[in-house]
Structure 1
């Protein structure tokens, strides 16, 4: 296992918060040790500056920065034995709107949110996942890594009761929704997590929705992470990762 290559301290460059009411920018206070003070609702956090992986941790043989992008790559010559993640350690988030651009060239990936690290040595996490795959079967679904599995397929709105039972509604055809997702090209992913209401959008279109009322299972806060899936060689790219706190 490679060493963690990223510092868990947020880069000391100033992060600006968007004040919605006035449409102006105001700086978020920076503590003496370089950590960002808790930001008000509406503030925007840039998870990746396009230059380095400050605040992130993962296997340095699998993750890199290329052309202003976070790149995760595995090979057939040196396959991984299990799913592994690039973990944003600098801050945890509860209610937010996350936006990112992704391009998957092969394999399976995803954006973890409200997640937790379950194996620090192997960079393994558990929690909600905005799914991405090159085969375009699962892209846009809500999957819970190392927990309850698929919570909502593409085109589904699912209400999970306190007892864990699911009430499902269909709002779109999975195949037709998939036609708006373009493997091998850049796509926009937007995740909205507002209390127990979770929504996934790809290229501006709602792909899945969950209302999670199972209080003993539903995560209220947690980390962000990016996935490399075990299996055949794969490459996934991310850029413009931002979070607006709700």
Structure 2
């Protein structure tokens, strides 16, 4: 009799647990819409009001921010379109992007200005390129370089006190304090989830010293930045056009949620 009651009790507990799990994971359309409502558009699809940029390289076409290099406008330094909405600390950012085969770009965030060059930023970047060699990785522009390759979860540590210049702790375009925690997946297989010559979705989640880059809903890289000497916990956000051959990159449906 005691055994029978125990089994019934276990069954009831399991049933309640299942119901709770279903309630948490199977959100209704209204619940999903409420969560999505926390995201606010920061580009109106019509003009570049609220952005700082060089008009030689940035414009609006067909509801998208367009960055373009032509044979007549070859760049000497990377240039950025910078959101004028202030510094971001903890946030989520979602957007769609399209990039040409020869393109090299990225979403810059928690950055400061590199004042030696007009319209230049220095800091974390969710990398984007037309060949999908780097898309999804975490690259720190003009500072510690690669912090996580695609498919990596990493923990970043500081350079020794004896090394004063940040670039003195960089080797082969990667930070020497890049410590691999785990593999998120095969780099090439993750790259196959990114569509060439088509629109893709980037989702950045930055909370505290942890930064996650998703492409088309898949986690591509995750960085825990324990480097108190060099990390940034807030800063500017923008998009990049990289030096190189003629190219085009487009961004639309840009949605921000402050955490």
1:7-61, Cα deviation, whole Å (9 max, x unpaired): xxxxxxxxxxxxx9x9499xxxxxxxxxxxxxxxx95332201111111011111
The structure 1 residue matched to 2:148, chosen from 152, 157, 173, is 152
Which residue of the partner structure matches residue 79 of structure 2?
A: 84
For residues 14-33 of structure 1, the aligned pairs below 5 Å read: 23=34
Question: Which structure features the higher share of helix residues?
Answer: 2
CA distance in 2, matches of 1:24, 1:128: 26
Q: May I ask how many residue pairs the two structures share in their alignment?
A: 211
1:191-222, Cα deviation, whole Å (9 max, x unpaired): 00000010000000000010001012110101
Structure 1: 4+ residue segments shifted above 3 A: 22-25, 42-45
For residues 106-125 of structure 1, the aligned pairs below 5 Å read: 106-119=102-115, 122-125=118-121
CA distance in 1, matches of 2:201, 2:35: 25
Query: Is there any run of 5+ residues in structure 1 with no aligned partner, and where?
Result: 1-19, 26-41
For residues 1-246 of structure 1, the aligned pairs below 5 Å read: 23=34, 43-105=38-100, 106-119=102-115, 122-163=118-159, 165-168=177-180, 169-246=182-259
CA contact (8 A) 2:77 2:117 kept: no
TM normalised by structure 2 equals: 0.77
Deviation at 1:145, TM superposition (A): 0.2
Query: If you compute each CA radius of gyration, which structure gives the higher value, 1 or 2?
Result: 2
Question: Which structure features the higher share of strand residues?
Answer: 1
TM normalised by structure 1 equals: 0.81
Deviation at 1:159, TM superposition (A): 0.5
CA distance in 2, matches of 1:111, 1:143: 10
Secondary structure of 2:86's match?
A: strand
Which residue of the partner structure matches residue 6 of structure 1?
A: none
CA contact (8 A) 2:125 2:139 kept: yes
Query: Is there any run of 5+ residues in structure 2 with no aligned partner, and where?
Result: 1-30, 160-175
CA distance in 1, matches of 2:35, 2:219: 29
Which residue of the partner structure matches residue 7 of structure 1?
A: none
1:138-161, Cα deviation, whole Å (9 max, x unpaired): 000000000000100000000012
CA contact (8 A) 2:184 2:219 kept: no
Secondary structure of 1:176's match?
A: helix
CA separation of 1:24/1:146 partners in 2, compared to 1, >3 Å: closer, same or farther?
A: closer
Deviation at 1:122, TM superposition (A): 1.4
